[in-house]
Structure 1
Amino acid sequence: MIKPFVAILLCVSILAGCSSAGKESPQSAIEAATYVHTGQRKLTLITMVNNRSGAGAHTALLVEGSQAVMFDPAGSFIHDRVPERGDVLYGMSPFWVQAYKSAHARTNFHVVSQEFNVTPAQAERALQLVQARGAVRSAECAFATSGILKQIPGFEDVRRGYYPLSLMSQFEQKPGVTTTRYYEDDEGNVRDGIKALSQ
């Protein structure tokens, strides 16, 4: 039990993106914001990486199934126009996916996206799992995300762990991955990035 406890303490100290309690939006707001995804079904692992140390700072999972949602476990992205329940952000159109990345990409961090084409069945399984997971405790973003991925057919070999960079490294080895990196040079943190969206 000592090893996981130490990992949690380390995550608490370094994962600025893995810290905030989310909001619980009413069902009416979630339904109104639903973004129906009609294209190729995809899963995208999103990792925030420190530009100075190279350490992983946060993990999220974009699910593009019958609707597009972002599993943002213990995340800090809170916007009036993005309903949230149980650490799932709803209505994640391409605009809001880009806004999410932009808010996290700061002088100190960049955003790594690892995209996989999946079947409709895989995408719907992922959607069910993230909706059922519920809110995640601080510093357990990678642990929660890897636990969900292990339950999706084709991703059973994912090793569960507490470190975003370790999960990202596992995905680098999987066939079919498309990786992109997004940078911005804005100062501040995620909340500053969210404020900038409204300006």
Structure 2
Amino acid sequence: MTPLRPLRLLLTLLLPLVLAACGASTVWAPDEEVARAAHVTGAPPSITLYTVISTNTGAGGHSSLLIDGTQRVLFDPAGTFYHPWVPERNDVLYGITEQMRKFYIDYHARETYFVRDQKLAVSLETAERLRAAVEAHGAAPKAFCANSVAQVLRTIPEFKDLPGGFSPVRLSAAFGALPGVVTHDHYDGDPANNSGVLMIEAERARELGIERPAGH
């Protein structure tokens, strides 16, 4: 056996595992759920970049994008957030009321992570173009959150110079340097394990007879 054959055999065995790790789960809420959940804030159009950052190392753990146009949606690529009242279509979450927006922040903020929100006023046309872009993006593979958010933002000329790659903190720094961005950091002393937040919401859903849909 030549030296290359064991390597080729190893790669052949590992390839299915690599492809499985890069896969993205498909979630597609029914039309009636999405239409029923649509939330209009009435506020001026804006976008908000959320970045989850380690309180210990300063490293970024996640990126997502809130888009407030004719309705408010949240692009949460490769995210783990779930709520029974928030329909999802491939990383796009609908029904983002102010209560849900705060719950999303609370879900991620804990003693080991804080959440940075960076809000920027945009035109209604820009907000709607971004909503169309996230709806067309499809489900993101794990660890592709910052990459996916940057890819969507760069469809707009004024954001074309934002960096790509896999660093939420790098994307946050570049976005924060744009004129007009307003930044807030959200801290929470909850335990590092945020399962308690989900248990409370799950119990509320059970009390109301709401079941978790298949595919989540």
Instruction: Judge same fold: TM > 0.5, yes or no.
Output: yes
Contact 1:88 1:130 in 2 (8 A): yes
- For 1:159-174, list aligned pairs within 5 A: 159-174=163-178
2:157 aligned counterpart, secondary structure: coil
Please state whether the residue corresponding to 1:97 is helix, strand or coil: helix
State the partner residue of 1:27.
31
Match of 2:157 in 1: 153
Runs of 4+ in 1 over 4 A off after TM superposition: 19-22
The answer to whether structure 1 residue 81 and structure 2 residue 85 are counterparts is: yes
Deviation at 1:22, TM superposition (A): 6.5
Identify the range of structure 1 (22-31 vs 107-116) with the bigger mean alpha-carbon deviation.
22-31
TM-superposition CA deviations, 1:75-120 (whole Å, max 9, x none): 0001111100110010111111001000100111110000000001
Aligned partners of 2:24 and 2:140 also within 8 Å: no
Deviates more, 1:186-195 or 1:49-58: 186-195
Matched residue, 1:182: 186
1:172 CA drift (Å): 2.1
Q: Among 58, 64, 82, which residue is 2:62 paired with?
A: 58
Q: Who is 1:91 aligned against?
A: 95
TM-score normalised by length of structure 1: 0.86
Q: State the shift of 1:190 in Å.
A: 4.5
- Corresponding residue SS for 2:158: coil
Structure 1 position 37, deviation (Å): 3.1
**Judging changes above 3 Å, is the alpha-carbon distance between structure 1 residues 152 and 57 closer, same or farther for their aligned structure 2 residues?**
same
Name which of structure 1's ranges 189-198 and 155-164 shifts more when overlaid on structure 2: 189-198
Unaligned runs of 5+ in 2: 1-22, 205-216
What fraction of aligned residue pairs are identical, expressed as a percent?
35
Matched, 1:38 2:69: no
Match for 1:185: what amino acid?
Answer: G
Distance 1:155 1:127 in 2: 15
User: Which protein has the larger Cα radius of gyration, Structure 1 or Structure 2?
Assistant: 2
Q: Which amino acid is the alignment partner of residue 134 of structure 1?
A: G
Aligned mate of 1:102, from 99, 103, 106: 106
> Contact (CA 8 Å) 2:48, 2:66: kept in 1 or not?
yes
Say what the alpha-carbon RMSD is for the aligned residues: 1.7
Report the equivalent of 2:14.
none
Alignment correspondent of 2:17: none
The alpha carbon displacement at 1:173 in A equals 1.3
Q: Distance in 2 between matches of 1:126 and 1:191?
A: 31
For 1:40-96, what per-residue CA distance to the aligned partner results, in whole angstroms no more than 9, with x for missing partners?
Answer: 100100000011111000000000010100000010001111100110010111111
Inter-CA distance 72–179: structure 2 relative to 1 (3 Å threshold) = same
Q: Paired residues, what number?
A: 181
1:194 matches 2:198: yes
C-alpha distance 74-22 of structure 1, shift in aligned 2 (>3 A): farther
Measure the CA separation in 2 of the matches of 1:78 and 1:143.
21
In 1, Cα distance between the equivalents of 2:56 and 2:142? Answer: 23
